[in-house]
Amino acid sequence: MRHRRRTWIPGLLLISPSLILLAVFVYGLIGWTVNLSLQDRHNARPAKGYVGLDNYTKLFTSDINDRFTHSLKNLLVFTLVFMVGTIVLGLIWALLLERRAKAEGFWRTVYLFPMAVSFVASGVVWRWLMNTGEGDNAGGINAIFHGLGLGFLESPWWTDPDWGMAAMAVPAIWQLSGYVMALFLAGFRGIPEELREAAVVDGATTFQLYRQVLFPQLTPTILSALIITGHMSMKMFDLIMSVSGAQWLTEVPAVYVWQTLLTRDYAKAAAISVFLLLIVAVVVVPYLIHVNRSEKRS
Amino acid sequence: MRLSRRVAALAVAFGTMFATVACSSSEEPGEGTKKVEVFTWWADGGEKAGLDGLVGVFKTDCADYEFLNGAVAGGAGSNAKQVLASRLQQNDPPDTFQAHAGAELSDYINDDQLEDLSAQYTEWGLTNAFPKGLIENLTVGGKIYSVPANIHRANVLWSNKTVLAKAGIAKDATTLDGFFADLDKLKAAGVAAPLALGKDWTQQMLFEALLISKLGAEKFSGLWNGATPWTGAEMTAAINDYKRLLTYTNKDRDTFDWTDAEKLLMDGKAAYQLMGDWEAADLDAKGFKDYGWSVFPGNGNTFQWLADSFVLPKGAKNADGTKCWLKTVGSATGQAAFNQKKGSIPARTDVGTDGFPAYQQAAMADWKTATQVPSCPHGSACAQTWQGAVGSAQGKFSSDGDVAALQTALASAAAEFGPKK
């Protein structure tokens, strides 16, 4: 027993700094924010009291121009396009490299490299690439289309009121497809060679090999990719700020929080933050539980 | 075993280090009573030069005190506002800070963070040195809380003379109808988007200039103090005119900052741009000489003003030093030194025009006789919460042109954030 305690104490001591820091700066502040979101603190003065869930319901019922629902709609379009885009592109690239392409290492680096760029830096470049001028005023990609005589392809990009957020997802797809490719590649490599050989012996075509044998093995990889891209997209702030700045057209909840905070409406900003945390948690927590269970099983 | 104990000791040591850092990093405020910490976001360019000019006067007029520069750069003041908000919350205010004069201060006033300066206004003779209209706009509940250092004019229409001459426009329009006629002429002459426009707040400025023309100065001011309703047919008509005005502007306006729109004007791709009078200094700095200016058509002698001002926060460590700074800011020498460098005009009407560039001299003459009205995007007419709601509604209108939705949004913004009756 005494021996046991001795091994237990240094371990706790070792992790205690990070535990304390996490408890104070993550969980403590989450608690503080939730508490704030339930009060009527709409300026810098101390709150007068608790208002229950008023700050939350007001976001949906009496926000001017339905601003919050609009930002959720923007976020939905962005997230869908971003997730589908990265998964499809990442899968295609992984398939190409998985076929033992020449100079695989080189291509892998090429595709993975955009991930090393910060969203702010790529946002500034894409802001220029997605210049919305058309015709003689065109710049960036529109200018290329214009120069090639493909004027009909010129697009208002992120300023389109309905599909602007889809254009906003393009830089994010460009950055993270390589990462998803790496995930898939690792997934493919993790499938035992025997499975492929057995399928080939049984006379499976290449299509059948992928469809029936390899893809089912990739389910955990796809799930990880969805979770990682999904939670990144829901917190998206820096890319949008550097492409369009804070404005109605491209407003998502994270940008809305920032705008609200700048105008000193602390309770409302807290409510939006907590809401955002909840929707991310709805996606992430079941995944964590799932991973935990399958790890215990194996 | 021994190894893990050593690692544990190391971890504890790290933990202690964190704690020590956290404790020792608190800021060093102006020690003693001689330093006056002046908090601004004037960190470079003409603004920094203006501040330096002001500091020069402060050094001679207030030799007992020492100037401590508390400038926070970046984000057009948004970084500074964040820092300021947290310092005020912790009851660690700077001795004085920069803020837009007028309603934007109501955030601080409502939060009980500012001292009343009415007595100083009388003592320093500011009540008579500033125009009556300005004093009225500055007064909140019978008290004045800030000393403006400068005045900018928001409702100025800038033009490219060559483009106007090509379209055969010789005289500045003085009515809205005349302006629309000129814009049509320009379109017919091949200028596709004759009115250059940028995003959010620049659209707010254009809308307000149009409102002044449609409602007149008095009713326009009434929008912000609750005397004029936002609902009603007059406002609907004004929004419809604004919608028509937007058809003469560049479609990609939401991607443009005001300087991008200014470039359209300089390149001759547009003939007009509505912008505050800091544009004069900017055009001069960029070496563009071929510009003209007039008040926005239909605004008459209305002067839509905005100003940077300084305040005395409650709990300032060196209140006497701050008062001396504020006296310098309000003095004729201080205002001349600051504004000649920054490209704005003095709020006082008794400063000589010598040493000011041509545009400023004209604006100083107008300032004395004009009717003053405030501006919402620049904080003199509304608080930041209200401003944010109007900006968002304006951004939506720029993309969908829904007149009824804009009017409803503006009315609910006024009801939610405007003065309560």
CB atoms within 10 A of CB A5: 8
CA distance B249 to chain A (A): 13
Token output for B216: 């007149």
From the list A13, A156, A265, the residue facing B8 with the nearest CB is A13
Query: Could you tell me the two tokens for B329?
Result: 């800011």
The residues, any chain, with a CB within 8 Å of residue A62's CB and separated by 6 or more, are none
Q: What span, in angstroms and rounded, lies between the C-alpha atoms of B245 and B177?
A: 11
Shortest CA distance to B369 belongs to which of B324, B273, B289, B303?
B303
Binned at pLDDT 50, 70 and 90, residue B76 comes out as: low
Percent of chain B that is helix, strand, coil (3-state, to 5): 55, 15, 35
pLDDT single digits (tens) B329-345: 999 999 998 988 888 89
Instruction: Pick one of 3.40.1000.10, 1.10.510.10, 3.30.70.270, 1.10.3720.10 as the CATH number of A66-297.
Output: 1.10.3720.10
**Rounded to 5°, angle at Cα A67 from A62 and A73:** 120
Write down the pLDDT at residue B179.
94
Q: Which residues of B touch A137 (CB under 8 A)?
A: 252, 269
Distance CA B326, CA B312 (A): 8
**B381-410: per-residue pLDDT in tens?**
988 889 989 999 999 999 899 999 999 999
* Cα distances (Å, whole numbers) of residue B223 to B212, B289, B307, B334, B415: 11, 37, 20, 34, 11
- B350 and B333 Cβ atoms separated by less than 8 Å: no
**How many residue contacts between A and B have a Cβ separation below 8 Å?**
104
Q: Could you report the per-residue pLDDT of A97-110, keeping only the tens digit for each?
A: 887 778 888 888 88
Tokens for B203, please give them: 């659209």
- Say if residues A133 and A217 touch (Cβ distance below 8 Å): no
Q: Do A20 and B82 touch (CB under 8 A)?
A: no
Choose among A273, A157, A162, A290: nearest CA to A226.
A290
What are the pLDDT digits (tens) for A167-219?
999 999 999 999 999 999 999 888 888 888 898 898 888 888 888 888 888 88
CA gap A69, A167 in Å, rounded:
20
Q: Do A264 and B107 touch (CB under 8 A)?
A: yes
Contact A65, B393 (CB under 8 A): yes
Sign of CA dihedral B318, B319, B320, B324: positive
Instruction: Quickly state the pLDDT bin for B415 (edges 50, 70, 90).
Output: very high
Report in angstroms the alpha-carbon separations of A197 from A98, A101, B43, B181: 15, 19, 69, 79
* Residue among B15, B112, B399 whose CB faces A16 most closely: B15
* Whether residue B350 has pLDDT greater than 50: yes
Question: Which has the closest alpha carbon to B319: B95, B116, B133, B130?
Answer: B95
- The pTM score is 0.85
| Minimum Cα–Cα distance from B416: chain A residue | A64
In Å, how far is B351's CA from the nearest CA of chain A? 36
Nearest CB partner across the interface for A247, out of B200, B252, B405: B200
d(CA B134, nearest CA chain A) in Å: 25
- Out of A14, A244, A259, whose CB is closest to B8? A14
pLDDT at B63: 87
Q: What is the reported pLDDT for B8? A: 52
Show me where the domains of chain B are located: 35-151+306-360, 153-304+377-417
In this prediction, residue B421 carries a pLDDT of: 55
Q: Which residues of A touch B396 (CB under 8 A)?
A: 65, 70, 248
Closest residue in chain A to residue B10, using alpha carbons only: A14
Chain centre to alpha carbon of residue A182 = 16
How remote is the C-alpha of B170 from its chain's centroid?
Answer: 32
**Pairwise CB contact (< 8 Å): A64 & B107:** no
Amino acid at B199: K
Give how far A92 is from chain B: nearest CA, Å. 34
Handedness of CA B213, B218, B224, B226 (dihedral sign): negative
The class that CATH gives domain B153-304+377-417 is alpha beta
Q: Please report residues of A whose CB lies closer than 8 A to that of B393.
A: 64-65
Of the residues A55, A61, A64, A256, the best mutation for testing chain B's interface (the one with the most B CB atoms within 10 Å of its CB) is A64
Q: Chain A interface residues facing chain B, Cβ-Cβ under 8 Å?
A: 6-7, 9-11, 13-17, 20-21, 42-45, 64-65, 67, 70, 131-133, 137, 156, 159, 161, 244-245, 247-249, 251, 259-260, 262-265
Nearest-angstrom CA–CA distance, B98 and B100: 7
Contact A251 B392 (CB under 8 A): yes
- Residue scoring higher pLDDT (B272 or A155): B272
Q: Which residues of A touch B113 (CB under 8 A)?
A: 44
Q: How close, in Å, is residue A285 to chain B by CA atoms?
A: 30
Average pLDDT score over residue span B103-131: 88
Length of chain A (residues) = 298
Kindly indicate whether the ipTM for this predicted assembly is greater than 0.90, answering yes or no.
Answer: no
Best B1, B3, B254, B385 residue to mutate vs chain A (most A CBs within 10 Å): B254
Q: What are phi and psi of A198, to 5 degrees?
A: -60, -45
Q: pLDDT per residue over B158-200, tens digit each?
A: 999 999 999 888 888 999 999 999 999 999 998 989 999 998 8
The distance of A6 to chain B (nearest Cα, Å) reads: 9
Q: How far is A158 from chain B (nearest CA, A)?
A: 9
d(CA A123, CA A108): 23
Q: Tokens 């000193």 sit at which residue?
A: A264
Q: Which CATH architecture describes the domain B35-151+306-360?
A: 3-Layer(aba) Sandwich (3.40)
- DSSP 3-state assignment of B236? helix
Buried b vs exposed e over B282-297: b needs ≥16 C-beta within 10 Å?
A: bbeeeeeeebebebbb
Please answer yes or no on whether B107 and A44 come within 8 Å at the CB atom. Answer: yes
